[in-house]
């Protein structure tokens, strides 16, 4: 039978509640709120669009129908059986919640809603709200997740104790596989390589000085930093990361105090899940834009306002609440991040984005008064330990900053003509040692990052353009940043010889796939 006709027959055979159940089971695959799914056909199209379901890969359909116990339909449509080696696409956690919902009667559900009366909004506890919808809202409020079922277990114990055996069985199975990072422990060294991965191969960081001469290319203007890279380890081709620095004392006692060396490795991405993107509000997008510096050595960052405008448009389109802080001193930047990390509202959101646009030195950015703050200091207030409501949620940092050598003051060379400037950054000491972080750097060591007076920076502009182009295709963020790498690497400065290569580094455990916005993509042109 033609596979499309098969899908149509399945859709016609399912009732409305069964379609909602399938959408709930596919929450993690869709990366968005399952309540937006309008029909079985709509669900199948979304799954096919993300390459989870096709005539060549029909096993997800079989798995879904098995979970909702429509085995006869599987036989009638001659769908392939699941073998012992078939990889399950539906997580045990999602199956558990569905299984529990099937054991909760209408009367039980009323008792569940009563016990949640002071924890969920009243409109989410109305009579027409199903058990699965209650579970979904509990997830949105960060009351339950795959590593924390305490509240659900307490409620089930009061309402229908026999169902707790299912939870106990789930916990026992979870104990047989590596657990997700405990938010009360900022980093586990059980296997550091699981949590930190570098996309770009790190490069030789031998002493390099980049001076772009005056009056080249018919008077084109370039402004560059002199990069003295002495003091860095120049013998290794891998980036050395101190992952012990943010560990609690008890973890340090268990782990070696030596730095861990991580190298890019090939991993099997088949088993990767997707971070949930199901909340009504996607998250906060903070933009710190330092343009006007009060010390003479740090010039105005011409072109940065266009970067800010594009970031605002794109992340608003993606469903974020954008907040902009301009011309911040060191302490103001730290204060903004600490205040951001203290907000309870993150429990109702899916992730966090922070964009830092400034001058800088190695591993740090400048406040407008000329004092520096380390990038890891800016990231620390929102890690899973300091901000539990962001635990196990992606925290995405994009850094565009002029970075010089810690031993040398930046030197700016300027002439009349085409305004191209440099913004370079090195990744040393900036890699997050907590899980669920992504740090998008403007460039790898020894490379210049360019900023144009009118058009903004190559990195930020490419990031915005590729988000607009690739999010509607269902692409994940790491793939988008790989495309940013490819695009920026093709550019040259006004001499035609200088290149730039961005470097994302991350400790993500799942794929970040933004839901496709219903609104048209924003225009990024002036």
Catalytic residues: 359, 402
Handedness of CA 441, 443, 448, 454 (dihedral sign): negative
Q: Which DSSP state fits 219? A: T
Q: Can you tell me the distance from the alpha carbon of 462 to that of 452, in angstroms, rounded to the nearest whole number? A: 13
* Residue 136 backbone phi and psi in degrees, to 5: -65, -40
Report residue 324 as tokens.
Answer: 């902009």
Q: Around Cβ 431, how many Cβ atoms within 10 Å?
A: 25
Cα distance between residue 128 and residue 235, in whole Å:
65
DSSP 305-325: HHHHHHHHHHHHHTTEEEEEE
DSSP state for residue 354 in the 8-state scheme: E
Instruction: Read off φ and ψ for residue 402, nearest 5 degrees.
Output: -65, 125
Strand partners, 283: 320, 351
How far apart, in whole angstroms, are the C-alpha atoms of residue 134 and residue 120? 9
Helix (H, G, I), strand (E, B) or coil at 67: helix
33 Cβ neighbours under 8 A, 6+ residues apart:
27, 136, 277, 278, 279, 280, 515
Cα first-last separation, the chain? 52
Residue 101 vs residues 24, 42, 64, 71, 106: alpha-carbon distances, Å: 11, 23, 15, 19, 10
| Alpha-carbon gap, residue 292 to 415, rounded angstroms | 20
Q: Which of 182, 29, 52, 61 is nearest to 515 (CA)?
A: 29
Please list, in sequence order, all residues whose beta carbon lies within 8 angstroms of the beta carbon of residue 447, skipping any fewer than 6 positions away: 203, 424, 499, 500, 501
Q: Which phi and psi (to 5°) does residue 457 adopt?
A: -85, 150
Name the DSSP class of 82. Answer: P
User: What letter does residue 269 receive in the DSSP assignment?
Assistant: G
Q: What's the DSSP call for residue 293?
A: -
């Amino acid at each position: 039978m033609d596979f499309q006709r098969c899908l149509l027959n399945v859709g016609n055979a399912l009732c409305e509640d069964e379609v909602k159940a399938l959408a709930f089971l596919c929450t993690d695959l869709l990366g968005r709120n399952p309540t937006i799914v309008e029909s079985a056909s709509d669900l199948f199209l979304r799954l096919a669009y993300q390459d989870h379901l096709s005539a060549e890969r029909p096993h997800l359909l079989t798995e879904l129908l098995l979970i909702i116990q429509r085995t006869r339909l599987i036989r009638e449509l001659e769908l392939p059986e699941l073998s012992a080696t078939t990889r399950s696409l539906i997580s045990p956690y999602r199956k558990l919640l569905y299984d529990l919902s099937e054991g909760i009667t209408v009367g039980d559900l009323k008792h569940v809603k009563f016990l949640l009366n002071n924890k969920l909004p009243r409109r989410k506890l109305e009579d027409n709200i199903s058990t699965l919808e209650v579970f979904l809202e509990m997830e949105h409020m960060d009351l339950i997740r795959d590593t924390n079922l305490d509240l659900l277990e307490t409620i089930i114990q009061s309402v229908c104790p026999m169902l707790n055996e299912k939870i106990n069985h789930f916990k026992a199975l979870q104990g047989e596989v590596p657990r997700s990072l405990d938010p009360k422990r900022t980093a586990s060294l059980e296997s550091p390589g699981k949590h930190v991965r570098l996309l770009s191969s790190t490069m030789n960081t031998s002493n390099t000085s980049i001076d772009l001469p005056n009056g080249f290319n018919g008077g084109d203007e370039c402004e560059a930093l002199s990069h003295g890279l002495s003091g860095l380890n120049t013998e290794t081709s891998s980036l050395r990361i101190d992952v012990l620095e943010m560990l609690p004392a008890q973890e340090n006692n268990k782990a070696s105090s030596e730095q861990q060396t991580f190298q890019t490795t090939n991993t099997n991405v088949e088993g990767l899940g997707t971070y949930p993107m199901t909340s009504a509000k996607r998250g906060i997008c903070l933009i710190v834009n330092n343009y006007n510096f009060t010390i003479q050595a740090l010039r105005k960052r011409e072109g940065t306002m266009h970067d800010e405008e594009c970031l605002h448009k794109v992340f608003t389109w993606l469903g974020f609440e954008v907040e902009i802080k301009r011309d911040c001193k060191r302490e103001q930047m730290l204060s903004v991040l600490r205040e951001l990390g203290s907000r309870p509202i993150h429990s109702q959101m899916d992730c966090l984005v922070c964009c830092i646009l400034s001058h800088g030195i190695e591993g740090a950015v400048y406040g407008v008064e000329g004092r520096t703050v380390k990038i890891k200091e800016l990231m620390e207030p929102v890690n899973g330990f300091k901000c539990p409501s962001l635990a196990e949620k992606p925290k995405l940092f994009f850094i565009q900053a002029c970075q010089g050598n810690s031993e040398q003051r930046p030197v700016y060379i300027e002439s009349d003509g085409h305004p191209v400037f440099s913004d370079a950054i090195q990744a040393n000491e900036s890699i997050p040692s907590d899980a669920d972080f992504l740090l998008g750097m403007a460039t790898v060591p020894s490379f210049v990052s360019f900023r144009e007076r009118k058009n903004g920076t190559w990195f930020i502009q490419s990031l915005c353009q590729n988000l607009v182009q690739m999010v509607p295709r269902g692409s994940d963020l790491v793939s988008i940043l790989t495309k940013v790498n490819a695009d920026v690497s093709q550019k040259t400065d006004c001499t035609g010889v200088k290149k730039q290569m961005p470097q994302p580094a991350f400790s993500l455990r799942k794929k970040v796939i933004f839901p496709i916005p219903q609104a048209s993509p924003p225009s990024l042109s002036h």
